A and B are shown apart, each in its own frame.
Chain A
Amino acid sequence: MQRTVIYPERSSSTYWKDLWAYRGLFRFLAWRDLLVRYKQTVIGIAWAVIRPLLTIVVFSFFGKFISPDTTGISMILIVAAASLPWQLFSSALNEASGSLIANSNLITKVYFPRLIVPLSTVIVCLVDFLISMVILIGLMIYFKQAPDSNIIFLPLFLLLTLLSSIGAGVFLASLNVKYRDFRYIVPFIVQLGLYVSPVAFSSRVIMNSDKVSEGLKIIFCLNPMVGVIDGFRWCLFGSEIPHDWMSVKISCTVTLITLFVGIWYFRKVEKNFADII
């Protein structure tokens, strides 16, 4: 018979086992969010395509002024390859950081490993992302742009996007429980992030510029999405990644650190969630 022992400190071996035991609930929560997302909307799932498409059109219009040099690839494609992972990252970060509060009725009434909540919201964003990939495929067919052979590495960069959004999202979610200020900080981070990420331009504009100091270049790359976007463009169009892959290397490091810190902090405070939420 299953035995449960409750004491103030929980050990980590049972934690991960518990998380696995609750995978059914994880699936159901993700399924619920997916079902609810487009209920009572007239065009339903088409929203997952329309919103990113409009963003791409607007950004590529302005992008033409910022970086006219696109080495023969249509600006729309350059922007699409960056905009889609950016949207995945920003929506995952946004949803995950608010997820605990949105599900506070569950947290105060039922036990389950709390990590399930932010993780399941990321799944919803991932599904949206996969649907919006239709846009990219459509555009590539329209512009007769064959994908580079590097495309087989695309899943790795997708994983990098997910991990970086999970790391930061989980961290912000647990802070949000205690300090509601983060409800206002997160949208601000996301908005600011869009300006400092190379969505409407190529990162070469900054990385190959003589006017930008080495230090600033490193700071620019601390944003994990710089490496992800460079990676996406490399996978799809074989665009060269400047400075010997510096952005990707920094992005991986930053992601691993935020993931580690985020989960560590989450686990540290999660047992008090029900008391303070």
Chain B
Amino acid sequence: MSYTAIKVENLTKEYTLRHQQASNYTALRDVIVDRAKSVFRGQTGSDRKEKFLALDDVSFSIQSGDRVGIIGRNGAGKSTLLKVLSRIVSPTKGRITLEGRIASLLEVGTGFHPELTGRENIFLNGSILGMSKMEISKKFDEIVAFAEVEKFLDTPVKRYSSGMFVRLAFAVAAHLEPEILIVDEVLAVGDAAFQKKCLGRMREVAGDGRTILFVSHNMEAVQKLCNKGILLNKGKLVMEGSIDAVTGKYLETFSEGQSWYDIAKPLDAENKAAIATRLQIEDVNEIPVSEVSIGANYNFRIYFTINKKVEGFVAAIGLLTIFDQPVRTTWSEPTDLEPGNYTALFKSEGIILADGQYKLNVGLSKGTSVIHNAENAGLLTISEVSTLVNDKQIINTKSGLIINQMPVQIIQCK
């Protein structure tokens, strides 16, 4: 039976920003100087302070068994929300009611001590995460097996490789059995195989009817793990609902790419026979978009002007990775063009690129001689929000630059 596991009412967290100060803590010297100054000015030294609302009147409730992804841009208040929910910091206003045991996992390996052995750290970390000694002893073998560190149990963890360290740390956390689990970005560690294992384990935990709150910038992970979503922006709750609706809203509102890019005029523009003026990215319905879902087709459109008649005109687009590795270049067929304004529409046709950003180069030429070459004219952003549905095959969007699957036949040898 489902009940309200988390109820948040009018939650507000206010911070006071102190300007011209490098660190959070105050030096007594400054306080004394401030007080002394204020005596002369007849006021307190409050002119340097500014209020900042990390969370602004946020209310929502979560049913038990829900797996909720909290999304938003950097500084939206996601981490503050998790910290308030895990009782690490106290709210300025509002009230939160939590039903059941809570464990929060804001960092992998909290409290791990480098001088202690793997065995000792399992017990220490377990108790820091809220497990009793008995629980840890009961799960000890399982934790060790999950982390794959049997041989190094009695070695101080300072001699562990970073991979082993992370595996051990996550293994302890993965065997927590609270009713409410709060997780922040911890999947951003370890190699791909281990990440997959972690995600699998989280889904297992979620399957037991536990409530999970999950913050991550990895939309793919959020979509795979969560069924509900909460969208925050500048401390305010923007939207609460199904994960697909919330991630959709997030991408629509806050995507980092642009749907079109103006191309800078070349220095000798008046002497050029043709110049490109704008590069636009569109979806298949020719509507400008700033981000393309992985697996979806898209169009590039180049706006250009012909100043003098060009015979054998060719428009081209080059696609490069962020690290300047060329991925592909496509050319139009040569045509003869009279002066005027034109567009060239390039349609993608089923090559699925991995998520991430790609640089775009635009080139106009007469045959093979370049007229106008605009390097780095724009960015193509492929978002990890997936439209790929294939229950029969494993599709990992991080498996390479090109996600398209080859047809594979498995035949028994005679």
Chain A residues with CB under 8 Å of chain B are 1-8, 10, 24-25, 28, 31-32, 35-36, 39-40, 105-112, 177-182, 271-272, 274-277
Contact present for B27 and A179 (CB under 8 Å): yes
Contact B111 A6 (CB under 8 A): no
How far, in whole Å, are A277 and B25 apart by their CA atoms in the complex? 6
Contact of B110 among A1, A28, A105, A177 (CB under 8 A): A105
Asked if B116 contacts A32 (CB within 8 A), the reply is: yes
* Cα(A25)–Cα(B127), bound, Å: 6
In addition to A111-B86, A277-B25, 18 A-B residue pairs with Cβ atoms within 8 Å of each other are A2-B99, A3-B97, A5-B97, A6-B85, A6-B95, A8-B92, A24-B132, A28-B128, A32-B120, A32-B124, A35-B116, A109-B104, A110-B110, A179-B25, A179-B27, A275-B24, A276-B25, A277-B24
- Cα-based distance from A277 to B23 in the complex (angstroms): 9
* Contact between chains at B110 and A180 (CB < 8 Å): no
Q: Which residues of A contact B98 (CB under 8 A)?
A: 3-6
- Is B89 interfacial (CB 8 A cutoff)? yes
Tell me if B95 and A7 are in contact (CB < 8 A): yes
Cβ contact within 8 Å between B24 and A6: no
Contacts of A3 in B (CB 8 A): 97-100
Nearest CB in chain A to that of B64: its residue: A1
B15 CB–A CB distance under 8 Å:
yes
Tell me if B133 is interfacial: C-beta within 8 Å of chain A: yes
Within 8 A of A (CB), among B32-51: none
B133→A36 contact, CB < 8 A: no
Asked if B123 lies at the interface with its beta carbon under 8 angstroms from chain A, I say: yes
Known contacts A1-B179, A24-B133, A32-B116, A110 near B96 by CB under 8 Å: no
- Indicate if the CB atoms of B111 and A110 lie closer than 8 Å: yes
Question: A24 contacts B127, CB within 8 Å?
Answer: yes
Q: Are B25 and A178 touching (Cβ within 8 A)?
A: yes
Using Cβ atoms and an 8 Å threshold, which residues of chain B touch A178? 25-26
- Bound-state Cα–Cα, A5 to B96, Å: 6
Shortest CB distance A47–B (Å):
16
Contact of A109 with B106 at beta-carbon distance under 8 Å, contacts A3-B98, A6-B96, A7-B94 already known: yes
Return chain A residues, CB-CB under 8 Å to B392.
none
Contact A109 B107 (CB under 8 A): yes
Contact residue among A6, A32, A109, A177 (Cβ-Cβ distance under 8 Å from B90): A6
B219 at the interface (CB under 8 A from A): no
Interface size class of B (residues with CB under 8 A): 35 or more
Query: Do B86 and A110 have beta carbons less than 8 Å apart?
Result: yes
Q: Which residues of B contact A28 (CB under 8 A)?
A: 123-124, 127-128
Closest B residue, CB atoms, query A28: B127
Q: How far is the CA of A112 from the CA of B124 in the complex (A)?
A: 14
B129 at the interface (CB under 8 A from A): yes
Known contacts A3-B97, A179-B26, A179-B28; A25 and B90 CB within 8 A of each other:
no
Say yes or no: A1-B99 contact (C-beta < 8 A), given A275-B24, A277-B25.
Answer: yes
Report the bound CA distance from A180 to B28 in whole Å.
8
Instruction: Please report the C-alpha to C-alpha distance between residue A242 and residue B259 in the assembled complex, in whole angstroms.
Output: 88
Contact B104 A111 (CB under 8 A): yes
| A to B CB contacts below 8 Å, 11 in the list | A2-B101, A4-B87, A5-B95, A8-B93, A10-B90, A109-B88, A109-B107, A109-B110, A180-B27, A274-B89, A276-B24
Contacts of B101 in A (CB 8 A): 2
Listed residue (B85, B90, B95, B124) with the most chain A CB atoms within 10 angstroms of its CB: B90
Nearest CB in chain A to that of B180: its residue: A4
**Bound Cα distance A10, B95 (Å):** 11
Contact across chains for B25 and A106 when beta carbons are under 8 A apart: no
- Residues of chain B lying within 8 A (CB to CB) of residue A31: 124
Confirm or deny: B115 has a beta carbon within 8 angstroms of a beta carbon on chain A: yes
Chain B residues whose C-beta falls within 8 Å of the C-beta of A275 in the assembled complex? 15, 24, 89
A274 is contacted by which of B83, B104, B128, B133 (Cβ under 8 Å)?
B83
A36 and B25 form a contact (CB under 8 A):
no
- In Å, the complex CA distance between A1 and B107 comes to 27
Which chain B positions have C-beta within 8 A of A181? 27-29
Is A111 within 8 A of B24, CB to CB? no
Say if the beta carbon of B301 comes within 8 Å of chain A: no
B168 at the interface (CB under 8 A from A): no
Interface residues of B in 185-234 (CB under 8 A from A): none
User: Once the chains bind, are A106 and B128 in contact (CB under 8 Å)?
Assistant: yes
- Whether the Cβ atoms of B115 and A177 lie closer than 8 Å is no
A32–B110 CB distance below 8 A: no
Provide the bound-state CA to CA distance between A10 and B31, in Å.
Answer: 28
Chain B residues positioned under 8 Å from A106 (CB to CB):
110-111, 128
Q: List 10 tightest A-B contacts by C-beta distance, closest first.
A: A111-B87, A271-B90, A6-B96, A181-B28, A28-B127, A179-B28, A4-B98, A109-B110, A274-B89, A7-B95
- Mark contacts of B146-157 with chain A using CB atoms, 8 A cut-off: 1 yes-contact digit, 0 otherwise: 000000000010
Q: Is the CB of B88 within 8 A of A108?
A: yes
Tell me, rounded to whole Å, the shortest Cβ–Cβ distance linking B352 to chain A. Answer: 39
Docked pose: A181 CA to B98 CA in angstroms: 39
